[in-house]
Amino acid sequence: MTTLKFHNTKTRKREVFTPIDPQNVRMYVCGPTVYDRAHLGNARPVIVFDTVARLLRHVYGDDHVTYVRNFTDVEDKINARAAESGRAIADLTEETIGWFLEDMAAVGAEEPDHMPRATAYIGEMVAMIEDLIAKGHAYAAEGHVLFAVDSYRDYGKLSGRTVDDMIAGARVEVAPFKRNPMDFVLWKPSDAQTPGWDSPWGRGRPGWHIECSAMADALLGREFDIHGGGNDLMFPHHENEIAQSVCAHPGHGFANVWMHNEMLQVEGRKMSKSLGNFFTVRDLLEKGVPGEVIRFVMLSTHYRKPMDWTEAKAREAERTLRKWYAVAVSADAGAPDDLLLGLLGDDLNTPGAIAHLHKLAGAGEAASLRAGLKLMGLMGDLMPEWAAQEAFDLTDYEAFLSDARVTAMESKDFAEVDRIKAMLTQAGVEVRMSRNGVALSAGPGFDADRLDPL
Ligand SMILES: [Zn+2]
């Protein structure tokens, strides 16, 4: 069996992965708060942990992995968006969930085994909060219930912060009823316009952190193997999940391994609406960037390194995938080779795995290449089409352009050459001209029909 090693945020070490129960390897990943289209940064954890899930399924067997990713469908951002757009909250969240699944399927992400919605687990959340109060870790005040961070000695251990650091660094909401400024909300009161559920503390709604603790417990149990998410969630969200779950279930450690992916940038800058470089996955797909290309670019950077999305990388990724598809298309389904598994098993070394696939493609190892593409979720629906385009014979067009060039050299009139070149480029053909001649190849967006006028 392939040995897997993952970097564990909790211990700050790369550790050999030993599942609690190899018959049921369990992973929880924090999912989206559903009020808008997923931006490109949201796709990174989805693609990273989809690749982890694929690897786990390969190693432990399809039926021996339980992957849970939630939908946060009760949260103040959702309420605000619904209020400003005049829409019913349920319509907004339902539509956003549909969009999310569609966009993530386009980037090759398989649906997790469970996709719980927070609103379906309110009873479990209330029970967990009652339990935390009974155990002295939480207190009710003015319709709120707060977690008392002073009651949990290890608070801050995951992110390596002390409570004093946190108070100094965080924008903490100061409320007169808080015992410690870092105490966080488990439950809060709802007014008539806000979604709410009856509870021992009056009509209200859960805080964000308790949602994940309750859903993970309901679907994976007191202790499970991997908890994943972006490293922007490490503090306070994951810190708070740990505090809640460990204090509610003393003697159980919640997640054994914590995996965090780094953030995404665009052309070297933080993606933000104010910089004008903010876009959604759907924007890219509609611009004609295939999901396979988005996934390839994401996986070409290690998940623990900041990832920079650039248009140049997307073009290069498409060129590579087209070549690989042409090699792999007619191969029989095989098993991924040990080298590839070793790389992926080494803390998900996807850039190393991609370099290895380059070697396989270069050596014409079609079956291994195909198996590797499949394991990494890179064998998209475009394979037959792109492979056919790669095989498209451009020799006549090469000769045509070459002749025109010879004529132009004599007449010094390059208008005809420029015209042909422009048409080829528009059809997605890459044109390389050198002293030795003309070379054409199908490139990103190649469309043979657009060659007809030539
Ligand atoms: Zn969470």
Q: What pLDDT digit, counting tens, does each position of 57-111 carry?
A: 999 999 999 999 999 999 999 999 999 999 999 999 999 999 999 999 999 999 9
| Residue 170 pLDDT class (50, 70, 90 cuts) | low
Alpha helix (H) ranges present in 376-443?
383-391, 395-411, 415-426
Q: Report, as an integer, the average pLDDT of 130-139.
A: 98
Q: What is the model's pLDDT at position 71?
A: 98
Residue 439, pLDDT > 80, answer: yes
Phi-psi region of 142 (alpha: psi -120 to 50; beta: other; left: phi over 0): left
Helices (H) and strands (E) in the chain, counts: 16, 15
Phi and psi, residue 272, nearest 5°: -155, 150
Cα-Cα-Cα-Cα torsion 143, 34, 235, 217, nearest 10 degrees, comes to 70
CA 33 – ligand 1 centroid, Å? 10
Residues within the annotated binding site for Zn(2+)? 30, 212, 237, 241
Domain segments of the chain as ranges: 5-261, 284-390, 392-451
CA 30 – ligand 1 centroid, Å? 4
The Cα 48–Cα 104 span in angstroms is: 12
Choose the weakest-confidence range: 185-189, 352-356, 364-368, 388-392.
388-392
CA 144 – ligand 1 centroid, Å? 20
Highest mean pLDDT among 51-60, 419-428, 434-443: 51-60
From the centroid of its chain, how far is CA 12?
Answer: 22
Q: Report, as an integer, the average pLDDT of 46-63.
A: 98
Q: What is the model's pLDDT at position 259?
A: 98
Check: CB of residue 328 under 8 Å from CB of residue 378. Answer: no
Q: Report, as an integer, the average pLDDT of 231-257.
A: 96
Residues within the annotated binding site? 30, 212, 237, 241, 273
Structure letter (DSSP) for residue 237 = I
If you search the block for the tokens 């005040």, which residue do you land on?
Answer: 141
The tokens describing 270, both together, are: 């933080």
Q: Report, as an integer, the average pLDDT of 128-148.
A: 97
Q: What is the model's pLDDT at position 167?
A: 72
Q: What is the model's pLDDT at position 149?
A: 95
The tokens describing 257, both together, are: 């391994």
430: β partners: 441
Structure letter (DSSP) for residue 238 = I
Q: What is the model's pLDDT at position 176?
A: 84
Residue 317, pLDDT > 90, answer: yes
Whose CA is closest to 70, among 112, 116, 35?
116
Residue 254, pLDDT > 70, answer: yes
CA 332 – ligand 1 centroid, Å? 40
Residue 277, pLDDT > 70, answer: yes
CA 450 – ligand 1 centroid, Å? 48
Phi-psi region of 294 (alpha: psi -120 to 50; beta: other; left: phi over 0): alpha
Whose CA is closest to 355, among 369, 374, 371, 375?
369
Count how many residues are written for the chain.
Answer: 454
Phi and psi, residue 140, nearest 5°: -95, 140
| Residue 173 pLDDT class (50, 70, 90 cuts) | low
CA 396 – ligand 1 centroid, Å? 58
Q: What is the model's pLDDT at position 169?
A: 67
The Cα 122–Cα 193 span in angstroms is: 18
Whose CA is closest to 200, among 212, 186, 217?
186
Phi and psi, residue 114, nearest 5°: -130, 135
Summarize pLDDT for 140-163 with one digit per residue, the tens.
Answer: 999 999 999 999 999 999 988 877
Residue 172, pLDDT > 80, answer: no
Q: Report, as an integer, the average pLDDT of 262-278.
A: 90
CA 237 – ligand 1 centroid, Å? 6
The Cα 184–Cα 174 span in angstroms is: 10
CA 262 – ligand 1 centroid, Å? 16
Return the exposure string of 329-338: e unless at least 16 CB atoms fall within 10 Å of the residue's CB, then b. bebeeeebbe
If you search the block for the tokens 């990494």, which residue do you land on?
Answer: 376
Q: What is the model's pLDDT at position 452?
A: 87
Residue 171, pLDDT > 70, answer: no
Summarize pLDDT for 174-232 with one digit per residue, the tens.
Answer: 788 899 989 999 999 999 989 999 999 999 999 999 999 999 999 999 999 999 999 99
Q: What is the model's pLDDT at position 162?
A: 78
Q: What is the model's pLDDT at position 334?
A: 86
Could you please state the CATH topology (level 3) that the domain comprising 5-261 is classified under.
Rossmann fold (3.40.50)
What is the SS3 assignment for 453? coil
Choose the weakest-confidence range: 144-148, 274-278, 365-369, 427-431.
274-278
Residues within the annotated binding site for ATP? 273
If you search the block for the tokens 């994940």, which residue do you land on?
Answer: 212
Whose CA is closest to 289, among 104, 445, 102?
445
